[in-house]
Structure 1
Amino acid sequence: MIDKIAWLHLHEGRVLSTRSRGKDRYYLPGGKREAGETDAQTLVREIREELTVTLDADSLVHVGTFTAPAHGHPAGVLVQMTCYAARYTGHLQPAAEIEEVVWLTYQHRPLVSAVDQLIFDWLRKQGQLAE
């Protein structure tokens, strides 16, 4: 099981997503926890590294946890994505391994990883993700 923490950020019916260099899928921004880190510490660090913005740790709200087959891994490997919403300060821009920052709607569902597809489905049912 791959344990990942993700930032679920919506604006006008679109969800913030990223694509790393050399990857063929978009992913919600975030990443894996380092030893001893809390979810909040992981997310604040990853988002600062990937998108050059600072999340307000006090504003973090757990949105949901989703599990699906891990993209690009052998069959049977799962990823568990724990998603949080949070306010941020700064200007969103790609950094570190991130090549592209995009705003996606439900029509872009085929372009995201399996776990993100579950999240897109859930957001659509909640009426939060535009078609």
Structure 2
Amino acid sequence: MPLPDLLVSAIALVRDRRVLMVTARGRDVHYMPGGKIDPGETAAQAAAREAFEEIALDLDPDDLVELFEVVTQAHGEPDGRLVRMRVFRAETDASPSASAEVGALHWVTTADLDRCPPAGAEVLRRLAASGTID
């Protein structure tokens, strides 16, 4: 029996043709700020909650614009387990900062593809294809 897909939301905060990614403490893999959608939560609510928990940005779910959904092999999960990541554009002048669960913030481009798990790499490719990042 196949494992259920992981349903997650993430934000894409873009500045100067770079997108914000984070690393967990003690790891060097770059990933999008975001996480699992909790029961009863919309994808936008999950993206806003995770942005607050991970990078201390207070975003209104109603202001987030869904860009696309990435469906790919889930990083660190058994073969065949997929992640379905809904990516939302975030607009804010506030400065993100790393929370206790985040080791560091990184402003990245497609030059950083090799540091990303499959879903994050696909987000970078799509943002670059849309002309949003380098």
Q: Are positions 1:21 and 2:29 aligned together?
A: no
Give the count of matched residue pairs: 130
Q: Are positions 1:105 and 2:106 aligned together?
A: no
**Residue by residue, what CA displacement relative to the aligned partner does 1:33-77 show, whole Å, maximum 9, x if unpaired?**
112111122112111111111013232111000111111111111
Tell me the equivalent position of 1:118.
Answer: 122
Tell me the equivalent position of 2:54.
Answer: 50
Root-mean-square deviation over aligned CA pairs: 1.4
Tell me the equivalent position of 2:133.
Answer: 129
Q: 2: CA distance between counterparts of 1:78 and 1:23?
A: 22
Q: Are positions 1:72 and 2:72 aligned together?
A: no
Q: Are positions 1:11 and 2:51 aligned together?
A: no
Secondary structure of 2:88's partner? strand
Q: 2: CA distance between counterparts of 1:125 and 1:41?
A: 27
Shift of 1:89: 5.8
Task: Indicate conservation of the 8 Å contact 2:8/2:43, yes or no.
Answer: no
Using the size of structure 2 for normalisation, the TM-score is: 0.90
The answer for unaligned runs of 5 or more in structure 2 is: none
Task: Indicate conservation of the 8 Å contact 1:4/1:31, yes or no.
Answer: yes
Aligned positions of 1:30-41 closer than 5 A: 30-41=34-45
**Residue by residue, what CA displacement relative to the aligned partner does 1:85-109 show, whole Å, maximum 9, x if unpaired?**
1223643111031111110011101
CA change 1:100–1:71 in 2 (3 A) is same
Detail structure 1 runs of 4+ shifted over 3 Å in the superposition: none
**Residue by residue, what CA displacement relative to the aligned partner does 1:93-128 show, whole Å, maximum 9, x if unpaired?**
110311111100111010011011111111221122
Q: 1: CA distance between counterparts of 2:60 and 2:91?
A: 6
